[in-house]
Amino acid sequence: METDEDQNNNDISVSASDSDSEDEIDSHEAMQEPAAPPQRSVNMLQGCRSVDEFERLNKIDEGTYGVVYRAKDKKTGEIVALKKVKMEKEREGFPLTSLREINILLSFHHPSIVDVKEVVVGSNLDSIFMVMEYMEHDLKGLMEAMKQPFSQSEVKCLMLQLFQGVKYLHDNWVLHRDLKTSNLLLNNRGELKICDFGLARQYGSPLKPYTHLVVTLWYRAPELLLGAKQYSTAIDMWSLGCIMAELLSKEPLFNGKTEFDQLDKIFRTLGTPNETIWPGFTKLPGVKVNFVKHQYNLLRKKFPATSFTGSPVLSDAGFDLLNKLLTYDPEKRITAEDALNHDWFREVPLPKSKDFMPTFPAQHAQDRRMRRIMKSPDPLEEQRRKELRQAELGTTGGLFG
């Protein structure tokens, strides 16, 4: 099976047209959104600035792919985020995940995608930083601190921006492959931006086999959990369904501990799929496991039209959108473009204007990190590292080992 790491060197050159299928990107229909600026062309012959031209103010966060600092440009006084690229485990040069992320973020420019301004270097080859716009919050941390979930009109405002950003990615032949609330940033102007493109990659038509060890477990589509060798934009749309449910309820929709447990939680809520509703389901590698047959879709019980018990409510139109995002058959799952045109966004309450979104005090430095350590340890980080190691070694675990 061809994995992401088997692609040739064209996959990691820094250019806006880089793809598995360049001809198809050139002929692909351009975005119709008037708000989206054109792609940038980056002059890679220009030398990189030194990181010493930035004053590091504090550490914001540390994830699987790098440390992020809040910093100030000494020349302009602008506050930015500095993301240090992790290099210590690389045996063969620059990390592929970072090359992909830099490639994508430098070539794209959209209001709902975090803006990478430049790449700067430290005193040695192991010190490389991406200079990004500073955003005060990530949605996961923000929801942990909030006493009440976002209102319906606020969720609509956030989901509209999210669908716009994902439509832009898909229109430009990019899969994010790790959409989750901690990878969505929010500033105090009500602007949502997608970040962390370490697992993103360009794709083409016809589809090629890619690794199924992508997307954090709670947001991972069932076709990935069942070992599908080919997948496309539908995996990102499933993640958006999980995110929409989480914004409404302030808690993850499917919080499994293992791949099997994740599938079990999905099947208990949505019913166990079969060939009728998902043609090709029985041919997936993971289906050799005997799952308990859950007959009914119970999602409406989690999101009723009216509630006297405090459950998050969702109108018929809102539930229709959620159901279409969480459709088992990837071929029938709603696209980002169709989601943007869904009736839910045109009914009362209407999406709140970004200018009227609530503001929150910025979580600086240790506050944000300590809150996560004490209140919400991420049970998925070690699994992510394990899965990435397995992918590098060419082995697979879980349901299809």
Give me the number of domains the chain comprises.
2
Does residue 122 sit in the same domain as residue 149? no
The predicted structure's pLDDT at residue 19 = 36
pLDDT, position 388? 65
What 44-47 contacts at long range (C-beta under 8 Å, 24+ apart), as own/partner pairs, is: 44/14
4 has pLDDT over 80 = no
Whether 111 and 145 map to the same domain: the answer is no
Specify if 399 maps to a domain: no
Q: Which two tokens stand for residue 183?
A: 């990878």
Whether residues 174 and 246 share a domain: the answer is yes
Residue 250 Rama label (left phi>0; alpha psi -120 to 50; beta): left
Do 225 and 115 belong to one domain?
Answer: no
Which residue among 133, 161, 178 closes a domain? 133
Q: Are residues 128 and 242 in the same domain?
A: no
Q: Does residue 145 sit in the same domain as residue 121?
A: no
291 and 216, same structural domain?
A: yes
Q: What is the mean pLDDT of residues 94-116?
A: 84
Which of 113-122, 266-275, 284-293, 380-389 has the highest average model confidence (pLDDT)?
Answer: 266-275
Contacts 24+ apart (CB under 8 A), 253-262: 253/218, 253/302, 254/218, 255/218, 256/217, 256/218, 257/379, 258/217, 258/398, 259/217, 259/225, 259/286, 259/398, 259/399, 260/289, 260/398, 260/399, 262/217, 262/218, 262/220, 262/225
Alpha-carbon distance of 58 to 39, in angstroms, equals: 31
Q: What is the pLDDT of residue 1?
A: 44
- High-pLDDT (> 90) share of the chain, %: 48
Same domain flag for 89 and 151: no
Look at residue 385 in the predicted model and tell me its pLDDT.
Answer: 64
Are 123 and 145 within one domain? no
| Domain at 51, CATH number | 3.30.200.20
Residue 389 lies in a domain: no
What is the residue-averaged pLDDT of the chain? 80
pLDDT in tens, 9-34: 333 333 333 333 333 333 333 334 44
pLDDT category of residue 400 using cuts at 50, 70 and 90: very low
Q: Do 145 and 122 fall within a single domain?
A: no
Q: Between 378 and 100, whose confidence is greater?
A: 100
pLDDT at residue 5, rounded to an integer: 43
User: What pLDDT is attached to residue 329?
Assistant: 97
Q: Write out the catalytic residue numbers.
A: 178
For the entire predicted model, the pTM comes to 0.80
Judge if 100 and 161 occupy the same domain. Answer: no
Contact (CB, 8 A) for 209 and 187: no
Q: 173 vs 45, which has greater pLDDT?
A: 173
Predicted local confidence at residue 201, as pLDDT: 86
Q: Say how many residues make up the chain.
A: 401
Structural domain for 292, as ranges: 137-368+376-384
CATH assignment of the domain containing 188: 1.10.510.10
- Looking at residue 209, its pLDDT comes to 78
**Token digits for 353?**
């204007």
247 and 343 assigned to the same domain: yes
pLDDT reported for residue 208? 77
